[in-house]
Structure 1
Amino acid sequence: MDTTYFAQQAIVSMMVHLVFFAVTFWALLALNLEKLLKKNRVVQARLLYVLLTISIGSLVSSFFLDYLSWSQSLVHLLP
């Protein structure tokens, strides 16, 4: 395969991950986690938001990229 194809795949994957990180962070802002966290733990709360964003965003973007790859592979089923 051509190296250009791999470079394009890498760029698409990076962009998809970043988009889903942003969407996940935006969605997490709707939660009221302050009630669950201890007072005066601002840095730890922010770190928790970042870690949740990365973990949930990675799962969703990996699923999206896998699904995209699977749908592109369906072309090989046709004669």
Structure 2
Amino acid sequence: MDSNFGNQLVGSLGVNGLISIIVSLICIGLSWWALQNLKLDLFIRFPKSAQGKLLHLLLAIILGHFVARFLLDYLNWSQMIKYMF
């Protein structure tokens, strides 16, 4: 019986990891899409340069990470509600 519980635990961790990766990638993609509308030429001399594009990518990763973390935390919190009652 312990082996069955261990297999279920490992499977659950694997699914949670896969969901986290997918949600993070989707949020980074959405952040990239949303940042396309940002006028970086107001802040950067050459926004079309490699450095400007790298900054755009880093901003998308940072913003996407925070949004994904919020969504995943919210999902975890909503799943914990069932233990209240």
For normalisation by structure 1, the TM-score amounts to 0.92
Shift of 1:4: 0.2
Residue number in structure 2 paired with 1:65? 72
**Taking every aligned residue pair, what percent have the same amino acid on both sides?**
31
SS of equivalent to 2:27: helix
Give the equivalent residue in structure 2 for 1:48: 55
Number of equivalences: 78
Q: What is the 5 A alignment of 1:1-79?
A: 2-39=9-46, 42-78=49-85
Structure number with the bigger relative contact order (C-alpha 8 A, sep ≥ 6) is 1
Aligned CA-pair RMSD? 1.4
User: Would the alpha carbon gap of residues 8 and 70 (structure 1) be closer, same or farther in structure 2, given more than 3 Å must change?
Assistant: same
> What 5-or-longer segments of structure 2 have no aligned partner?
1-5
Task: Give the drift of 1:60.
Answer: 0.7
User: Compared with structure 1, are the counterparts of its residues 11 and 40 closer, same or farther at alpha carbon in structure 2 (3 Å cutoff)?
Assistant: closer
Question: Take 1:40 and 1:67, find their aligned partners in 2: how far apart are those partners?
Answer: 35
User: Which structure 1 segments of 5+ residues have no match?
Assistant: none
Which contiguous aligned blocks of 4+ residues in structure 1 show a shift greater than 4 angstroms? none
The normalised TM-score by structure 2 is 0.86
